[in-house]
Amino acid sequence: MDISTVEFHLKRAIQDGLGFDLNDPNLKDTPKRIAKMYCNEFFKNVGKEFTDFSLFPNSPTYNQIIMSDRIYFTSMCSHHFLPFSGHAWLLYIPNNHLIGLSKMARLIKHYSARPQLQEQLCNDILFSFTEAVKPLGAMLVMKATHCCMSCRGVYQYNGAGMVTSQISGCFLEFPEVKQEGLELIKLSIMDK
């Protein structure tokens, strides 16, 4: 990404396209701030896969659900370049490896730093997780509010948004495992 190119075009858009005066002290550095935000924060992981998994041997063997809950995330909708944010619940039943707890949150944070749809974000996270960890099964549920719905368009407030899920392995094969996972998420939500 080229911050100076992004800044240049933002200046043109704000000044020439929208007609704002960039001599206004509150707007003077806005193109630079937006360019840095896009390149260094919101879109910093475009084209980069997450590889920083810390795997540990599953010894003694643990064969029940492990859940990292209420992982906060913010991403950017690729339709309007407005943020969506919320919480994720990542569950898995280990096979040969356990994963460091903080890596689950880092994985979600990593894939959130791209312009995308929530459905794709959910898919990319679980795919990366299952490819690296190779659990018996995994499940990801993401609940987010979207500024494209709350700040414009239909103007929905008070938490209206979207829930997406992606499941694999035993969570997909056995309805009772999926149900147990959903019950754990329910407990997590009630424990606020």
CB 129 within 8 A of CB 92: yes
Peptide bond into 60 cis (omega under 30): yes
pLDDT band with cut points at 50, 70 and 90 for residue 155: confident
Residue 192 has pLDDT above 70, yes or no: no
Domain identity same for 81 and 175: yes
Query: Once rounded to an integer, what is the mean pLDDT over residues 58-71?
Result: 96
Q: Which domain holds residue 72?
A: 55-190
Same domain for 86 and 175, yes or no, is yes
Q: What is the spatial distance between Cα 42 and Cα 112, in angstroms, rounded to a whole number?
A: 8
pTM: 0.93
CA dihedral 24, 25, 30, 31 (to 10 degrees): 60
User: Does 147 share its domain with 100?
Assistant: yes
27 domain residue, yes or no: yes
Residue 6, amino acid: V
Note whether residue 49 is domain-resident: no
pLDDT at 159 over 80: no
Look up the CATH number of the domain holding residue 107. Answer: 3.30.1130.10
Question: How sure is the predictor about 107, in pLDDT bands with cuts at 50, 70 and 90?
Answer: very high
Residue 47 lies in a domain: no
| Range 125-141 average pLDDT | 98
Buried b (16+ CB within 10 A) or exposed e, 173-184: eeeebbebbbeb
- Which ranges in the chain belong to alpha helices (H)? 3-12, 30-37, 101-112, 118-133, 147-150, 170-173, 175-190
48 part of a folded domain: no
My answer on whether 9 and 31 are in the same domain is yes
